[in-house]
């Protein structure tokens, strides 16, 4: 009687055979959807890149933009019918700025997605966990008090050290306060972020007045200092750390379920979480060194990515990188056009959009 009352959890061969084509069809549909979204995203990225280079205080036609790019990559293919001034605007100013926006947007979005997985908190991002503040502290210390003793590498290295130190402090505070839950980890990050920013403000106050004025760039965020020589650093770090995270998507998927489940699958939970935090600190620190504090990208973009491609991190990570790059390109376009010919700090734009998204997300979670 108990056999008839409790259905067997084991499927018969007939049931498995009947459901196998259904699974295959769903898998093919998801693959085609992801492929279509990727193609659409890459097309949107190219269009956004063209517009970002075209608009500004001196508008440049799209045909001229791509003509300059092709001419620089393969000289002699296209006859130049534009002035040297426009060529300098496109190649020396706007193109590296747009590429930096792509790198920073993709990097912060990937870090946010990874942090949300290992903390199991949809509100986690580099800004809220204090990692961005630590990077800014390191960059400000390098600019005002240490001198560029390592040349161009001084600012990104000290920014990474600051971001890593902030990460370790957040983890230490959460452990000291026995705040192992995801929500309390974010609260610890917010508290540490306020403390670190107070220290950064102290460094600015103690620094030389004229130099301190330029450090406001790191406090509000901006891409106006982008140069070709500098792009190699964020590009290499993003490729290296992004590739490492891409090989850990199975572990990230397991971490979203819970520490116990991840541990039963053989994942060293504490060590893996620390490794993800270190990778996130490295990416964030280098990005902050060249763009300043740009908040809420890591919070918003992973949610949009999961809405489009689902929760599997094999798709979430690349989708987050692509959407983050597009978002920051358009944020930079808005920053350059709202108060043209002056550049508004891009952190103001992302903060405004991110704050609205943050409130919407809280309301959405309450309604679930």
Kindly state whether residue 88 falls inside one of the protein's structural domains. Answer: no
Domain holding 160, by residue range, is 102-363
How many structural domains compose the chain? 1
Instruction: Give every CB contact of residue 354 below 8 A, 6+ residues apart in sequence.
Output: 295, 296, 297, 299, 300
Q: Which of 58-67, 95-104, 128-137, 145-154 has the lowest mean pLDDT?
A: 145-154
Kindly state whether residue 79 falls inside one of the protein's structural domains. Answer: no
Q: Does the structure show a pLDDT above 50 at 19? A: no
Three-state DSSP class for residue 187:
helix
Structure tokens that stand for 345 in this block? 């700090």
Helix axis angle, 95-119 relative to 313-337, nearest 10°? Answer: 140
Kindly state whether residue 184 falls inside one of the protein's structural domains. Answer: yes
Query: Quick one: 259 exposed, middle or buried, by C-beta within 10 A (0-12, 13-18, 19+)?
Result: middle
Q: How confident is the model at residue 5 (pLDDT cuts 50, 70, 90)?
A: very low
Q: Which of 18-32, 124-138, 270-284, 350-364 has the lowest mean pLDDT?
A: 18-32
pLDDT for residue 105: 95
pLDDT for residue 15: 43
Kindly state whether residue 280 falls inside one of the protein's structural domains. Answer: yes
**Span 253-267, average pLDDT:** 88
Kindly state whether residue 316 falls inside one of the protein's structural domains. Answer: yes
Q: Which of 22-31, 40-49, 251-260 has the lowest mean pLDDT?
A: 22-31
pLDDT for residue 34: 65
Q: How far apart are CA 152 and CA 142, in angstroms?
A: 11
CATH number of 128's domain: 1.10.3470.10
Kindly state whether residue 22 falls inside one of the protein's structural domains. Answer: no
Kindly state whether residue 81 falls inside one of the protein's structural domains. Answer: no
pLDDT digits (tens, 9 = 90+) for 229-252: 889 989 999 999 999 999 999 999
Quick one: DSSP state of residue 229?
Answer: G
Q: How far apart are CA 220 and CA 134, in angstroms?
A: 14
- pTM score, whole prediction: 0.83
Kindly state whether residue 269 falls inside one of the protein's structural domains. Answer: yes
In percent, how much of the chain has pLDDT > 70? 86
What mean pLDDT is reported for the chain? 81
């Amino acid at each position: 009687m108990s056999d008839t009352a409790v259905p067997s959890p084991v499927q018969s061969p007939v049931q498995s055979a009947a459901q196998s084509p259904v699974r295959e069809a769903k898998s093919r549909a998801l693959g085609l959807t992801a492929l279509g979204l990727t193609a659409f995203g890459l097309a949107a990225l190219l269009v956004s890149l063209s517009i970002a280079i075209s608009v500004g205080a001196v508008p440049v036609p799209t045909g001229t933009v791509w003509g300059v790019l092709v001419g620089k990559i393969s000289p002699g293919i296209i006859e130049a019918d534009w002035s040297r001034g426009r060529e300098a605007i496109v190649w020396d100013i706007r193109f590296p700025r747009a590429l930096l926006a792509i790198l920073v947007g993709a990097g912060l979005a990937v870090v946010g997605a990874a942090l949300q997985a290992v903390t199991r908190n949809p509100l986690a991002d580099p800004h809220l966990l204090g990692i961005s503040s630590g990077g800014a502290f390191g960059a400000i210390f390098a600019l005002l008090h240490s001198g560029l003793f390592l040349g161009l590498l001084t600012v990104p290295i000290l920014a990474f050290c600051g971001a890593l130190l902030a990460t370790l402090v957040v983890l230490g505070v959460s452990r000291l306060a026995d705040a192992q839950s995801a929500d309390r980890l974010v609260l610890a990050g917010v508290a540490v972020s306020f403390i670190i920013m107070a220290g950064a403000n102290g460094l600015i106050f103690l620094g030389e007045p004229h130099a301190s004025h330029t450090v406001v760039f790191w406090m509000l965020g901006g891409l106006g200092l982008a140069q070709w020589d500098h792009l190699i650093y964020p590009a290499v770090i993003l490729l290296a750390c992004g590739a490492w995270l891409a090989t850990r998507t199975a572990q990230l998927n397991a971490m979203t379920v819970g520490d116990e489940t991840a541990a039963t699958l053989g994942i060293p939970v504490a060590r893996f979480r620390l490794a993800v935090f270190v990778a996130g600190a490295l990416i964030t620190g280098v990005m902050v060194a060249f763009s300043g504090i740009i908040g809420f990208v890591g919070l918003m973009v992973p949610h949009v990515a999961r809405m489009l491609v689902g929760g599997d991190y094999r798709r979430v990570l690349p989708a987050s990188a692509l959407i983050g790059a597009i978002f920051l390109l358009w944020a930079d376009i808005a920053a350059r056009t709202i108060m043209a010919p002056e550049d508004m700090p891009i952190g103001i734009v992302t903060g405004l959009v991110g704050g609205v998204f943050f409130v919407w997300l809280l309301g959405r979670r309450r309604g679930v």
